[in-house]
Amino acid sequence: MHTILIVEDDYKIASMLKEHIEKYEYKVHIASQFTDIKKEFVEFCPHLVLLDINLPRFDGFYWCRQIRTISNCPIIFISARSDEMNQIMAIENGADDYITKPFNFDLVMAKIKSLLRRTYGSYANPLQPHIYEVSGLYLLYDQHMVQWHQHTIELTKKEFTLLERLLKKAGKIVSREELLESLWDDVDFVDDNTLSVNITRVRKKLQQLGIKNAIETVRGTGYKIVDTWSELS
């Protein structure tokens, strides 16, 4: 089942859209955290976003750019602004399409279906866009990257796997055995020093983002990632 995120501060319009879209067996979520749409996007992990321009605090153009730093999921603007300049700005900020208010529900559904087919394929398994976030640090699965403060850096497959294991148990010790098993099928033939080398590489990648001392070595046991980067926000 595909999932749709509606970012619209007029609850009546958002509710009408939700009710209509759900008739076509889509899962729909109406955004409520207008101070951090990017965080809500990560929490809901939609396949498509319907986005208004006039929103509290930051406008839709800003949130479109924020979403584009972590995902290529389709974004359709729905706005009362019908002039060409706003439509051009929407496209330039990363939108895939633009619908003006008042809108026709059938047109909205046609555009949603078209973009979903184009992006995920008519017969493709609609897997969730894969993103994981801890205190503003984002793991971008599709790109094998880590992002912090809009800066991204590419990780190797092993580096990504290590950081994922550590982040998903943030604040807890992850044993060397668990980390070794996540990287290699047969740990009996792996030099223990190889893990240390890969951990060092992950530390260096985080340092390039400006994050220091996030991975602690727990002597004789394993490693632990500590949220030191939130203090720098």
pLDDT one-digit tens code per residue, 48-66: 999 999 999 899 999 999 9
On whether both 26 and 62 belong to a single domain, the answer is: yes
Asked whether residue 125 is assigned to any structural domain, the reply reads no
Residue 1 confidence class, pLDDT cut points 50, 70, 90: confident
Q: What is the mean pLDDT of residues 28-36?
A: 94
What's the pTM value of the predicted model, to 2 decimals? Answer: 0.72
pLDDT for position 150: 81
CA-to-CA distance for 50 and 104, rounded, in angstroms? 14
User: What's the burial of 201, exposed, middle or buried (CB within 10 Å: 0-12/13-18/19+)?
Assistant: middle
pLDDT for position 66: 93
Lowest mean pLDDT among 80-94, 143-157, 219-233: 219-233
On whether both 111 and 60 belong to a single domain, the answer is: yes
Longest dimension (CA), the chain: 65
Asked whether residue 107 is assigned to any structural domain, the reply reads yes
Lowest mean pLDDT among 59-63, 104-108, 175-179: 175-179
On whether both 187 and 113 belong to a single domain, the answer is: no
pLDDT for position 230: 79
On whether both 58 and 94 belong to a single domain, the answer is: yes
Paired tokens of 106: 């059938």
pLDDT for position 18: 97
Paired tokens of 34: 């207008």
Q: Which domain holds residue 92?
A: 3-120
On whether both 148 and 93 belong to a single domain, the answer is: no
Asked whether residue 173 is assigned to any structural domain, the reply reads yes
pLDDT for position 201: 94
On whether both 111 and 155 belong to a single domain, the answer is: no
Q: Are strands 173-175 and 145-148 parallel, antiparallel or unpaired?
A: unpaired
| Whether pLDDT at 187 is above 60 | no
Asked whether residue 153 is assigned to any structural domain, the reply reads yes
Asked whether residue 23 is assigned to any structural domain, the reply reads yes
CATH (domain of 42): 3.40.50.2300
Q: Which residue in this structure is represented by tokens 């992950």?
A: 202
Asked whether residue 20 is assigned to any structural domain, the reply reads yes
CATH (domain of 227): 1.10.10.10
pLDDT for position 4: 97
| Whether pLDDT at 70 is above 60 | yes
CA-to-CA distance for 201 and 216, rounded, in angstroms? 14
On whether both 113 and 138 belong to a single domain, the answer is: no
On whether both 169 and 72 belong to a single domain, the answer is: no
| Whether pLDDT at 189 is above 50 | no
Q: Give the orientation angle of helix 176-183 with respect to helix 157-167, to 10 degrees.
A: 140
Strand (E) or helix (H) holding 57:
none
**Do 136 and 230 form a contact (C-beta atoms < 8 A)?**
yes
**Do 118 and 125 form a contact (C-beta atoms < 8 A)?**
no
The per-residue pLDDT of the chain, averaged, comes to 89
Asked whether residue 51 is assigned to any structural domain, the reply reads yes
Question: With pLDDT > 70 as the criterion, what percentage of the chain qualifies?
Answer: 92
Indicate the residue type of 144.
Answer: H
On whether both 138 and 206 belong to a single domain, the answer is: yes
Q: What is the mean pLDDT of residues 132-160?
A: 90
Of the residues 59, 92, 120, which one is the last residue of a structural domain? 120
Asked whether residue 220 is assigned to any structural domain, the reply reads yes
Q: What is the mean pLDDT of residues 116-128?
A: 67
Q: Are strands 215-218 and 222-225 parallel, antiparallel or unpaired?
A: antiparallel
Question: What letter does residue 16 receive in the DSSP assignment?
Answer: H
pLDDT for position 192: 67
**Do 14 and 55 form a contact (C-beta atoms < 8 A)?**
no
CA-to-CA distance for 198 and 160, rounded, in angstroms? 10
Give the three-state DSSP class for 143: coil
How many structural domains does the chain have? 2
Residue 122 confidence class, pLDDT cut points 50, 70, 90: low
